[in-house]
Structure 1
Amino acid sequence: MGARRDRRERRRWPWVLAAVAVAGALVAAAGPAVAGALREQGAASVRDAVLRAAAQCCAIEGSYPHTLRHLEQHYGLTVNHDDYVVIYEAYASNVTPSVVVTPR
């Protein structure tokens, strides 16, 4: 009985190794897609934070700030400029600024 079980277990190992290899290949293939999705989600979060800080500034000061630097200096906004490019365009003090955030 023991010899039979050993033979069955030896026949299973190639299948187990193949399944592990396939799973590893799927994880490796999905890695860049997941990383890209996380970067895009991070960019959306940064954009939302900039717009919230701009709205807070408008509520307190009565106008939208002209620069992103104003939000960083006076409203505690922190942007990782190494990971994201932020384009902040203020047209008028009473118009919500245009904010575009792109991952690097």
Structure 2
Amino acid sequence: MYIILGFFIETLSLMVITIPIVAPIIIALGFDPIWFGILLILLIEMALITPPVGLNLYVVQSVRKSGSFNDVMIGALPYVGFMLVMVVLLVVFPSLALYLPGVLN
């Protein structure tokens, strides 16, 4: 859901619209709110660089002096892949996101 919404809505607006609805549900289901926050930011940032509609891709294209938008999309694909792997790892191993906050407590 966040990846698709992130195609069209920028980060802050997406969080303001969805967190009041989704966060209480996630917490009521027993998930850690810190884990959810980290996962949420990762998903939103991934959506901002996901072709073909990712808003940050247009920012990169506007800064470039020359080249096509297809080059920007192709250049972003490895990062989308790595972020997708990180999302899967965070879902399978939530302790990855909770290790450092646990050490600081």
Q: TM-score higher than 0.5 here?
A: no
Higher strand share: 1
TM-score of the aligned structures, taking structure 2 as reference length: 0.31
TM-score of the aligned structures, taking structure 1 as reference length: 0.32
Higher helix share: 2
Structure with higher RCO (Cα < 8 A, 6+ apart)? 2
